[in-house]
C-alpha cells in the first residue's frame, strides 16, 4: 500500500480552523498527522487522540446526520423506513457510543471509537442534560420525517438523485477543494436543489447561516456540470429544530465571491508553510490566538500553553 501523503487542500472546516487559530489549524492538519499509527511519536499520537474528540452537541449533530443519510439511502432503494424505528435505533446507537466513550477506548483506537470532551476532560454533565441531548436527537429525526423533504425524496425518480453525504473534490486553480453535501437532487423544473441539515438547538440559519459553505456547494455543482448557470441552483439550510427551510437563490456574484474567498484562504495557509510543494510547515510559524477564557472549542489545552481551559456548553 502506498504511503499516505499529507497534501494541502481546502475545505470550509479547514478554513474555519485556520481562521479561528493558526496553531489549532497546525495541530489539526500537521501536528496530528500520522497519529493513527501505534508507531507514531507520543505527542503526535496525543494530538491525534485530541483531534478526534467531539463535544456532546457535535456528536448529536453527527448521529442525526448519519440517521438521515441512512433514511435517504433506504428511500433511494425503494424502502419506507418509519420515524419511530429510526429514532429508537439512533437512541440505541447513542447509548452504545456513550458507554464506549466513558470507557475511554478511544485512547486505544482513536477515530474508531467515540471520544467525548466531557469524558476526556472530566466535565460534569447531569443525567438530565444527557437526556435532553437524546431527546433533541429524537426530535430532529421525527421532524425530518414530518418535513416536505421526506415525501420529496420518497417520490424522487432515480435519475433525479444526486450525491448523499459523499466526500468529493474538485480542482480550483491547481488546488483541491473538498466538499460533502448532505443531500442534493434535481427538481422537475431542471434546477438543482442542495440541502444542508441544521441540527442546532436554535434556528441558526435564520441568522444568515454559512453563506460561504452554501456558495461552495453551488460552485461544486457547477464544476461537476450538474447545471450550466448559478441561477439554476437553489441552496437550502433546513433547521430541524424549527422545522423550517431557509432558501437562498444563487447568482453569479456569489460564485465570484466564493472563488475569491477560497483563493485568499488557501493563500493564507500557504504563506505559513516552509515548503509549499511538499506541504511542510513548522509549528512556530502558526501562532496561537490568545483566548479570552471562554473558548469552548480548543482541543489542545494540554499541548498548547496559550489555550484557555475547556468549557463545554
Q: Residue 289: its pLDDT value, please?
A: 82
Strand partners, 178: 169
| Contact assessment for residue 140 and residue 240, using Cβ atoms and an 8 Å cutoff | yes
Total tally of structural domains belonging to the chain? 2
User: In the β-sheet with 233-239, what is the strand arrangement from edge to edge?
Assistant: 183-186, 192-198, 233-239, 244-249
**Claim to verify: residue 213 and residue 101 sit in the same structural domain:** no
pLDDT in tens, 215-228: 999 999 999 999 99
**Claim to verify: residue 167 and residue 56 sit in the same structural domain:** no
Question: Would you tell me how many other CB atoms lie within 10 Å of the CB of residue 188?
Answer: 8
**Claim to verify: residue 195 and residue 143 sit in the same structural domain:** no
Query: CA 37 to CA 51: how far, in whole Å?
Result: 14
Q: Residue 20: its pLDDT value, please?
A: 87
**Claim to verify: residue 140 and residue 34 sit in the same structural domain:** yes
Domain end residue (candidates: 270, 286, 307)? 270
Q: Can you give the residue range of the structural domain that contains 65?
A: 9-152
**Claim to verify: residue 52 and residue 100 sit in the same structural domain:** yes
Query: CA 219 to CA 190: how far, in whole Å?
Result: 17
Domain end residue (candidates: 152, 179, 195)? 152
Q: Residue 210: its pLDDT value, please?
A: 83
Q: At 176, phi and psi to the nearest 5?
A: -85, 135
Residue 95 lies inside a defined structural domain of this protein = yes
3-state secondary structure at position 232 = helix
CA 80 to chain centre: 27
Residue 129 lies inside a defined structural domain of this protein = yes
Residue 18 lies inside a defined structural domain of this protein = yes
Side-chain half-sphere exposure of 46, counting CA atoms within 13 A: 8
**Claim to verify: residue 25 and residue 147 sit in the same structural domain:** yes
Q: Residue 294: its pLDDT value, please?
A: 46
pLDDT in tens, 262-300: 999 999 999 999 999 999 999 999 998 876 544 544 555
**Claim to verify: residue 60 and residue 141 sit in the same structural domain:** yes
Domain end residue (candidates: 128, 152, 176)? 152
Q: Residue 208: its pLDDT value, please?
A: 53
Distances (CA, A) of 240 to 1, 13, 196, 197, 204: 42, 21, 10, 7, 10
| Contact assessment for residue 191 and residue 232, using Cβ atoms and an 8 Å cutoff | yes
**Claim to verify: residue 127 and residue 202 sit in the same structural domain:** no
**Claim to verify: residue 134 and residue 260 sit in the same structural domain:** no
Place of cell 448529536: 60
3-state secondary structure at position 175 = strand
Residue 229 lies inside a defined structural domain of this protein = yes
**Claim to verify: residue 135 and residue 66 sit in the same structural domain:** yes
DSSP single-letter state for residue 32: T
> Which ranges constitute the DSSP H helices of the chain?
12-20, 22-26, 42-51, 56-76, 83-102, 117-120, 127-146, 148-154, 211-223, 252-271
Question: Cell digits for 175?
Answer: 488546488
Q: Which residues of the chain, if any, have pLDDT below 50?
A: 293-294, 296-297, 308-313
Question: Cell digits for 40?
Answer: 507514531
Residue 62 lies inside a defined structural domain of this protein = yes
Q: At what angle do helices 83-102 and 127-146 cross, to 10 degrees?
A: 150
**Claim to verify: residue 262 and residue 173 sit in the same structural domain:** yes
**Claim to verify: residue 13 and residue 102 sit in the same structural domain:** yes
Residue 306 lies inside a defined structural domain of this protein = no
Q: What is the dihedral of CA 6, 214, 224, 168, to 10 degrees?
A: 30
Residue 301 lies inside a defined structural domain of this protein = no
Residue 295 lies inside a defined structural domain of this protein = no
Q: Residue 303: its pLDDT value, please?
A: 56
Query: CA 221 to CA 223: how far, in whole Å?
Result: 6
The pTM assigned to this predicted structure is: 0.90
Amino acid at each position: 500500500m502506498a504511503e499516505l501523503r499529507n497534501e494541502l487542500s481546502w475545505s470550509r472546516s479547514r478554513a474555519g480552523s485556520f481562521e479561528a487559530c493558526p496553531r489549532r489549524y497546525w495541530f489539526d492538519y500537521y501536528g496530528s498527522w500520522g497519529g493513527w499509527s501505534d508507531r507514531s511519536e507520543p505527542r503526535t499520537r496525543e494530538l491525534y487522540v485530541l483531534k478526534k474528540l467531539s463535544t456532546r452537541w457535535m456528536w448529536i449533530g453527527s448521529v442525526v446526520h448519519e440517521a438521515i443519510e441512512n433514511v435517504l439511502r433506504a428511500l433511494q432503494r425503494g424502502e419506507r423506513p418509519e420515524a419511530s424505528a429510526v429514532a429508537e435505533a439512533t437512541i440505541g446507537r447513542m447509548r452504545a457510543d456513550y458507554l464506549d466513550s466513558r470507557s475511554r477506548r478511544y485512547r486505544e483506537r482513536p477515530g474508531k471509537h467515540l471520544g467525548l470532551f466531557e469524558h476526556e476532560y472530566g466535565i460534569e454533565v447531569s443525567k438530565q442534560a444527557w437526556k435532553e441531548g437524546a431527546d433533541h436527537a429524537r426530535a430532529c429525526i421525527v421532524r425530518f420525517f414530518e418535513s416536505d423533504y421526506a415525501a420529496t425524496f420518497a417520490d424522487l425518480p432515480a435519475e433525479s438523485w444526486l450525491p448523499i453525504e459523499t466526500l468529493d473534490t474538485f480542482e480550483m486553480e491547481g488546488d483541491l477543494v473538498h466538499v460533502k453535501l448532505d443531500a442534493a437532487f434535481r427538481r422537475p423544473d431542471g434546477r438543482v436543489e442542495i440541502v444542508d441539515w441544521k441540527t442546532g438547538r436554535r434556528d441558526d440559519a435564520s441568522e444568515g447561516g454559512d453563506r460561504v459553505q452554501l456558495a461552495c456547494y453551488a460552485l461544486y455543482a457547477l464544476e461537476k456540470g450538474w447545471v450550466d448557470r448559478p441561477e439554476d441552483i437553489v441552496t437550502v439550510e433546513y433547521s430541524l429544530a424549527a422545522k423550517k427551510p431557509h432558501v437562498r437563490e444563487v447568482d453569479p456574484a456569489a460564485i465570484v465571491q466564493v472563488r475569491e474567498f477560497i483563493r485568499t484562504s488557501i493563500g493564507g495557509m500557504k504563506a505559513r508553510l516552509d515548503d509549499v510543494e511538499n506541504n511542510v510547515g513548522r509549528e512556530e510559524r502558526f501562532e496561537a490566538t490568545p483566548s479570552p477564557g471562554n473558548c469552548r472549542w480548543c482541543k489542545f489545552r494540554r499541548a498548547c500553553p496559550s489555550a484557555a481551559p475547556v468549557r463545554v456548553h
